[in-house]
Amino acid sequence: MSHSTSQPLGCAGELIGFKAV
């Protein structure tokens, strides 16, 4: 969860992004 910290949501956005993908 630290490969995309440039997202506006941060780690939360990563989890959502992962599930979205």
The identity of residue 10, as a single letter, is G
d(CA 18, CA 16): 5
Are the CB atoms for 8 and 15 separated by under 8 Å? no
d(CA 3, CA 14): 9
d(CA 19, CA 16): 5
pLDDT of 5 reads 54
Tens-digit pLDDT profile for residues 1-21: 455 555 555 666 666 666 655
Q: Which residue has the tokens 């995309």?
A: 4
